Amino acid sequence: MTRNGLEIRPLSGAIGAEIAGVDLAEELSEEVVAAIRRAWLDHLVVFFRGQELPPARFLAVARCFGQPVEYPFLKGLDGFPEIRPVVKLEHERVNFGGLWHSDTAYLDIPPMGTMLLAREVPPYGGDTLFANMHLAYESLSAGMRRLLDGLGAVNSSAKADVTKTREDRLRDAARADAKREYAAIHPVVRTHPETGKKAVYINGGHTLRFDGMTEEESAPLLDFLVTHLARPEFTCRFRWERGSLAFWDNRAAQHNPINDYHGFRRVMHRITLAGDRPR
């Protein structure tokens, strides 16, 4: 598909598309920004290759699509606090954010989207999986959709699995003003503010329980949903190269960075964009 001079190549039948024909180091016209945003809404995550962007230009590109915000737990780059390094070093065994999740769902107002730019990649491994939460919702039975439509979920930054993925970075880059825990209640099914489509909005990294229920009572349904949302037919897999950039819709997509490159370094730069309160 070609749109405003951009070539848009879907990665799978469910989610994801590569966009060619644009150099993000150059100033972007309103028409190109609008075409990228349309592809982003259609495919939930879009990818660009060969984008060697210095921090200032990376931030400028992000501002074409939203307002960059700082990550609550860790410091950003010197001079660019909105750009957060995502690093796994050669000796480390656990990767940052290494499980299915949507970014910082424990905030009252989670980010609209995330941009991730590859600075250094291993010779193999380190791919990222993405999953379409609209499809996860639409494929449920009518009875299950009715049940979920009325539920809220308690999301916490202190859930054990996700805190483990932060430990290495907190030792050397923790923010002094970070809270011990962030927690928020969001609808289990949220409506996308731009497309009106419904999406499952719980995840294995942050969701503790359903509002009004105990963790024990919530566990069977949460376990089912976490398994369901990662079904292969809802996903795509992206292989990184230096200069690859991914931009995903945090309101309707989840991602899972695969931890299969022990002994190698992986360095990424991440920007998250301010969102709205899930409804």
Active-site annotation, residues? 101, 103, 255, 270
Its sign, for the CA torsion 163, 166, 167, 170, is negative
257 SS3 class: strand
Could you say which DSSP state residue 111 is in? -
Q: Judge contact between 35 and 4, C-beta under 8 A.
A: yes
> What CA–CA distance (Å, rounded) separates 240 from 58?
17
DSSP β-bridge partners for residue 132: 253
Per residue, what are the HEC states of 143-195?
A: HHHHHHHCCEEEEECCCHHHHHCCHHHHHHHECCCCCCCCEEEEECEEECCCC
